[in-house]
Amino acid sequence: MENFDYDLRSVQEVRNLAHAGKIAANQIADFSEEKINRILRSMVKAAQENAVSLAKMAVEETGFGKVEDKTYKNHMASVVLYDAIRDMKTIGVIQEDVDAKLIDIAEPVGLIMGIVPSTNPTSTAIYKSMIAIKSRNAIVFSPHPSAAKCTGLAAKIMHEAAVAAGAPANIIGCISMPSMPATNELMHSPEVSMIIATGGPAMVKAAYSAGKPALGVGAGNCPAYIEKTANVQQAVKNIMASKTFDYGTICASEQSIVVEESNCRQVVDELTKQGGYFMNPEETKKVCALLFKNGHAMNAKFVGRSPQVIAAAAGITIPEGTKVLIGEQQGVGPGYPLSYEKLTSVLAFYRVQDWTEACDLCIKLLQNGIGHSMSLHTEDRDMVLKFAQKPASRIMVNTGSTQGGTGASTSLLPAFTLGCGTWGGSSVSENVGPQHLINIKRVAYGIKDCSTLASADPTFHYPELSGGCACSSPASRPEGSNLLQNDEALRKLVAEFIDAMKGAK
């Protein structure tokens, strides 16, 4: 193999992984709930034991985020997730309606392709492995090239733990030689039944174009509106905890803060007190020049970085203890770079006159991350219902959007693939879980006599069909009455159809 081109070798590796994964998928399809839960417990234990080492490896390999936060991501993707899905029905009869005589039966989809981003390279692999096994599927990962080692190790740890507990060999695989031809080969592999795509817009679009079922997510651009009735101190505390978590690498993290003039001074003072640094226009311009390239595309060098790293690179001086850089913006769009997604420790800041202006602004901001998430800090329930109409799949109230959107601080399903609905070009608007990785067969018993459907239906009353009579039975029709006799146009149409068919012969 040494004499072969890298891309050719990577494509061949994918073919081998897909073939082996399909065999494993067929084998696990008959496993019982007891076996599946035993396998999952083994995987959770392995994830716990390796949570810190995988987090360290991810930070070292990508340069993104914080070890302690990535450790919690790994914990959430295993321990917290298992607690949430342990009793979820994904095998056999999952629901039965005795009165309607309907039975829902779950079946696995088969072999899944999992696309893993560099921002959450180990936690996403753990999470997708867990939901794939819970739904009795096999999975093969396509890692981001800049995080191939840590993603590969996470997949290996999950695989070994699963097999040790009785799972088939090759139930979890991972490309070790990532390349675009390899990813494309796996997307179009006949053995792959479904794709779960978490990554950049181009990758997600490619997944949806592969000609098979796909669960993809779009970019986020979450605005956080601090309404006038909000507990400002707590709102700022939640936002800071959210935006500083893993240096903003979660796609649900806040990207903009929107405040009313009536409480603006209080919010600014509280943000400054809690570690926010408000940049002047010149400093904001310097930081934007670093963060973006080719318009509003995020520069990977500054994804998941501390404000100190960003400030030093921009040549600006910030106070000791700064946790987030904040730049005030006057609008949304190409002329205002901070109005776009920034997966790092930088926020945009907007002032509005009232909630209606805040509403319009949030809608504009959401167009750059449509369908994903937004957060609202308020004590007014009516205001929550007003903002619930916005084009976002997750609307978090009085919590940080990072923790809220991923289900860490809310009752949403713990997840690292967050659907954006049709607003964001996604086939699902929920947090993706095992329930999205099954086929549901419906067993339906007959509850009506097929031979008397019309005559037994009291609502079936169309006078034009029978000269004014209800079609309760053939005997109730006038003698000699039928559709063709009473409808000359229909009789003519049928005759023309018969003539046409004769001509076709």
Would you give the DSSP letter of residue 501? H
Q: Which residue spans within 331-444 are E strands per DSSP?
A: 346-352, 371-377, 392-397, 438-444
CB atoms within 10 A of CB 293: 12
Place of tokens 């239906």: 457
3-state secondary structure labels for all residues of 372-384:
EEEEEECCCHHHH
Q: Which residues are catalytic?
A: 251
At position 309, the amino acid (one-letter code) is V
**Of 153, 142, 149, 81, whose CA–CA distance to 117 is shortest?**
142
Distance CA 351, CA 84 (A): 39
What CA dihedral angle connects 420, 422, 425 and 429, to 10 degrees?
A: 20
22, 110 in Cβ contact below 8 A? yes
At position 112, the amino acid (one-letter code) is I
Copy the structure tokens of residue 314: 């921009």
Distance CA 431, CA 261 (A): 35
Query: How many CA atoms are closer than 13 Å to the CA of 435, on its beta-carbon side?
Result: 16
SS3 297: strand
**CA triple 256-261-264, angle to 5 deg:** 60
State CA 28 to chain mean position distance: 25
The conformational region for residue 224 under phi > 0 = left, psi -120 to 50 = alpha, else beta, is: beta
Q: Is the dihedral of CA 119, 195, 208, 391 positive or negative?
A: negative
**Of 332, 365, 326, whose CA–CA distance to 348 is shortest?**
326
Question: Phi and psi at residue 396, in whole multiples of 5°?
Answer: -90, 140
Distance CA 112, CA 284 (A): 43
State CA 487 to chain mean position distance: 55
78, 126 in Cβ contact below 8 A? yes
Copy the structure tokens of residue 213: 């079922």
